Amino acid sequence: MIDWYDWSGGREAMLRFGPATGPVVLVALPLFEEANRTRTFAAALMRLLAGRGIASALPDLPGTGESLTQIEETTLSEMRAAMGAAVDHLGARRVHACGIRSGALLDPHAFVRARWHFSPVEGEVLMTELLRIAQAGKSSPASDDAPMLVGGNLLTAAMVAELKAATTDADPGPLRIVRLDSDPRPADRKVPGVPLWRRAEPGHDPALAALLADDIAAWVRACEG
């Protein structure tokens, strides 16, 4: 179903699946173009969680999805504030964060019971990748006060500065990190699959979605005790 949540900048939509009671997994897509490549996968993951008795929610954050706010009108701080407001909206339930790639940058200070991150990436790494894309596409790089256009996303200098400094370091609490087995970085678990965020077009990996749904469901139940 479609739900709504309010934050200081207005009202945003939230896609929800699963039971109306019990814990809920709050999903954060990767930022910018990677969100378009992984949204189908994330929605399928949420449906699978519902089949395992776990509710989930996917909020549109300012500058993303169907938000009326344009990406050039927002900052990482505002996205994080909206994520916190989405948690508050679900506050009558026990909320667990699920960050995919740079979506893991959005929940470090949100008041959640536990965090589950899939292939998380730090802000500095993300900016290195975005700058490479901008140079390959001959987009204009950001100077101290000029925006940067990357894949149709106009990033202000303020957004760029925040992203360069952003980390996935979170407030104390349980954290599980899952990565693809092709990723050499440390993780609690490595799984087979392809990096959908690297594809030129949106894609899906049903086997990976089912595997991750099992992992998230087991993690949530373990954290619930």
Domain of residue 45, CATH code: 3.40.50.1820
Q: Are residues 14 and 106 in the same domain?
A: yes
- Please give the full DSSP string across the chain, using - where no structure is assigned: -EEEEEETTEEEEEEEES-SSS-EEEEEPPSTHHHHHHHHHHHHHHHHHHHTT-EEEEEPPTTSTT-SS-GGG--HHHHHHHHHHHHHHTTTS-EEEEEEGGGGGS-TTS--SEEEEES---HHHHHHHHHHHHHHTTPPPP-SS--EEETTEEE-HHHHHHHHH-----SSS-EEEEEETT--S--SEEE----GGGSSS----HHHHHHHHHHHHHHHHHHH-
85 and 67, same domain (yes or no): yes
Please tell me the least confidently modeled range out of 12-16, 30-34, 174-178, 202-206. Answer: 202-206
Is 134 in the same domain as 160?
yes
For the chain, what is the mean pLDDT? 91
Domain hosting 210: range is 2-122+169-224
Q: Residue 99's pLDDT band (boundaries 50, 70, 90)?
A: very high
Question: pLDDT at position 131, please?
Answer: 80
Tally the domains of the chain: 2
**Of the residues 114, 138, 165, the one at which a domain ends:** 165
Same domain? For 137 and 98 the reply is no
Same domain, 47 and 146: no
Q: What is the pLDDT of residue 156?
A: 87
Give me the percent of the chain exceeding a pLDDT of 90.
71
Provide the pLDDT confidence category of residue 149 given band limits of 50, 70 and 90. Answer: confident
Q: Above 60 in pLDDT, residue 25?
A: yes
> Are residues 39 and 139 both part of a single domain?
no
Q: Does residue 179 or residue 131 have the better pLDDT?
A: 179
Residue where one domain finishes, among candidates 114, 144, 165? 165
Which of the four pLDDT bands, split at 50, 70 and 90, describes residue 171?
confident
Q: Of 109-113, 176-180, 196-200, where does the model show the most confidence?
A: 176-180
The pLDDT > 70 percentage for the chain reads 94
Same domain, 71 and 156: no
Q: Does residue 113 register a pLDDT over 70?
A: yes
Instruction: Tell me the average pLDDT across 197-221.
Output: 92
Q: Does residue 56 sit in the same domain as residue 133? A: no
pLDDT band at 143 (very low <50, low <70, confident <90, very high): low
- Based on the domain organization, do 45 and 137 belong to the same domain? no
